Amino acid sequence: MLPKRIWWGLYTWASLGYVNRMALILREQGLVRPDENLLTGTGDFPGIRAFGGAHLAMGRESTVAEIGSLPSLNVLIKQIADDLESLHRRFAPAVERIRSVWNQHFLTETKPSPANDFAHSLRDHFAAHGLSFTPHQIATFATALQTKGFVILSGISGTGKTKLAQHFADLLPLPATVQVTEVQDVVQFVVQPYMRKYGRMVIPKGFWPMLDVPPANEPREIAVTFGREKQQCKLVHSVYGDSDYLQLLLRGKARRWFLETFAEGDTIQLEPIQDENGDLVGFSLLPPSPGQPQVQPNHLFVSVRPDWRDSKSLLGYYNPLTETFDSTPFLRFLLRARTHYDEQGRDALPHFVILDEMNLARVEYYFADFLSVLESGRGDDGYSREAVALHSFQQAVEDAEGRPIPPSLPLPPNLYIVGTVNVDETTHAFSPKVLDRAFTLEFTDVDLAGYPLPPGDAAPLSEETRRALAEAFTRQGRFAVVDKRRVAEFVKAHPPYRTRLATLNELLRPHDLHFAYRVFDEIIAFLDNAKSAPWFDGFAGLDDAFDTAVLM
């Protein structure tokens, strides 16, 4: 005999759309009679709250009402137990049919393999350092950053937002660059376009004390040795207003040798030659001494200050008084990331910028140029289509240390930006423009019951593991670039996700909160990256990754 009451429940992991679709499928498959009324919506009944909160539920009206009137969870459990046998007799023949329909309509995803527990391994690795993150948080952060390249970590203070970014960067291999060996009393240059065009070199003021600087506007003839030859050239001390320059003007064979030997970007050394009295009598032009590879940090920590009003605090500015560019660690890090990408191409390693407490100042004030450039998209070479303007000159200018600063800088694809945010009375709210450019992760859950974590020893990751992680994170050199071809392929293989996004967009349209094509592409790209990432075990499945992407 059929039970008088039958109750179905779908809980917090299901959306209202899933509930409505399941109700329709149950009717279509004949599992619910046409005269049986189903209730879909938010349940706020004592019996349902006993399961842990006001869950989304689906069932008959009469049944839900009766559940709401039950005095305790035990009574509900007994009622369900009494009905189990008859429920089994009714639904057993349809089990395979239900599974087939469910797989067709809902389980279009790839489940994480039990053998692949990379996100859980990372959780244990972080825990050994005293950091408490769930596999889901780790997988979400890694996938969001590899997809969009700009992630904002928001939440209450002390949840480890900054530590997550720093320690994740530490998991990846560090870039190595070959530094030329610095020789004492040797002036070192990076060859600039103006040097090749005009045959002159501006000697930085930091090297003036080791030279016998001639009086202002009184050129001095001086011998320049190069290779096995020598040429008389000029050392000129020029004064313009409050500024002065010391320039070496190359002539004849010295200039030809310089043009034939050095290309733009090469390093050249200028060694002063002194007589027995210590007076400057000439220079030797030398190629750089070979150096050893030096490991460079792959992340930069930047503390945002509340008095930042424009991009100068972040990028620096050209100083007309010193006629040099006042650079910043942030700009130097960007230039190093660009150089590394130019040298390594698809094998380049990620470079991370961590903007700590980025909403202490208004983000639109100091970060507006970056927001616009991030919106411009990427070219075939991986660089942003637009560039961040640095100064108004047509050619590069030098900073105080002689480094060339280009007029503008497109963002390389191996650059990843992480911002941390605290929300209190001392901070500024984000505008929709900022939130639209980034994936935003909320850190609000705190598990004090399992804290503090027991101390442990974290085994260092092998270089092979670091390289494999870097290849997965950079998508084998494709970096944080949304590939529309892969988006189209994913949608073709998983059409329900397009339907869900279209339905969601129609629900948001009356409230003027609907989204456009870029958001669609980014959500699908997030799913595509999550599915193929080694940390996919951090998600409960592709549907979980979909819900996570929508919430960001």
Cis amide linkage into residue 452, ω under 30° from 0: yes
Helix, strand, coil: what percent of the chain each, to 5? 40, 20, 40
Structure confidence by residue, pLDDT tens digits, 206-233? 777 777 788 888 888 999 999 888 999 9
Structure confidence by residue, pLDDT tens digits, 259-305? 888 887 778 888 888 888 878 888 998 876 555 555 678 899 999 99
Residue 270's SS3 state is strand
Enter the tokens of residue 303. 């503390």
> Burial of 138 by CB count in 10 Å (0-12 exposed, 13-18 middle, 19+ buried)?
buried
CATH topology for the 295-441 domain: Rossmann fold (3.40.50)
Q: Is the pLDDT of residue 72 over 50?
A: no
Q: Is the pLDDT of residue 388 over 50?
A: yes
Q: Is the pLDDT of residue 453 over 60?
A: yes
Domain coordinates of the chain in residue numbers? 16-105, 118-147+455-551, 180-286, 295-441
Closest CA to 143 of 472, 490, 510: 472
Contact 549, 527 (CB under 8 A): yes
Range in 44-48, 72-76, 139-143, 218-222 the model is least confident about: 44-48
Taking the model in full, what pTM does it have? 0.63
CATH number of the 180-286 domain: 2.40.330.10
Higher pLDDT, 72 or 484: 484
Closest CA to 475 of 90, 129, 147: 147
Q: Which of 36-40, 190-194, 245-249, 353-357 has the highest mean pLDDT?
A: 353-357
Give the angle subtended at the CA of 373 by the CAs of 369 and 375, to the nearest 5°: 120
Overall average pLDDT of the 446-460 stretch: 73
Q: Do domains 180-286 and 295-441 have the same CATH topology?
A: no
Closest CA to 237 of 226, 249, 225: 249
pLDDT band at 9 (very low <50, low <70, confident <90, very high): very low
Enter the tokens of residue 390. 């640095």
Contact 261, 202 (CB under 8 A): no
Structure confidence by residue, pLDDT tens digits, 332-385? 999 999 988 988 888 888 999 999 999 899 998 899 888 889 888 888 888 999
pLDDT band at 391 (very low <50, low <70, confident <90, very high): very high
Residue 458: its pLDDT value, please?
63
Residue 381: its pLDDT value, please?
85
Structure confidence by residue, pLDDT tens digits, 14-70? 445 555 555 566 566 555 555 555 444 444 433 333 333 333 334 433 444 444 444
Query: Pairing mode, if any, of strands 415-421 and 351-356?
Result: parallel
Structure confidence by residue, pLDDT tens digits, 104-120? 544 444 444 444 578 88
Give the angle subtended at the CA of 295 by the CAs of 293 and 298, to the nearest 5°: 140
Rounded to the nearest integer, the mean pLDDT of the chain is 77
Residue 123: its pLDDT value, please?
86
Concatenating the DSSP letter of every residue in 52-114 gives TS--EEEE-HHHHHHHHH-S-HHHHHHHHHHHHHHHHHHHGGGHHHHHHHHHHHT--SPPPPT
Rounded Cα gap, residues 39 and 201, in angstroms: 81
Residue 454: its pLDDT value, please?
73
Structure confidence by residue, pLDDT tens digits, 533-543? 888 888 989 99
Residue 182: its pLDDT value, please?
45
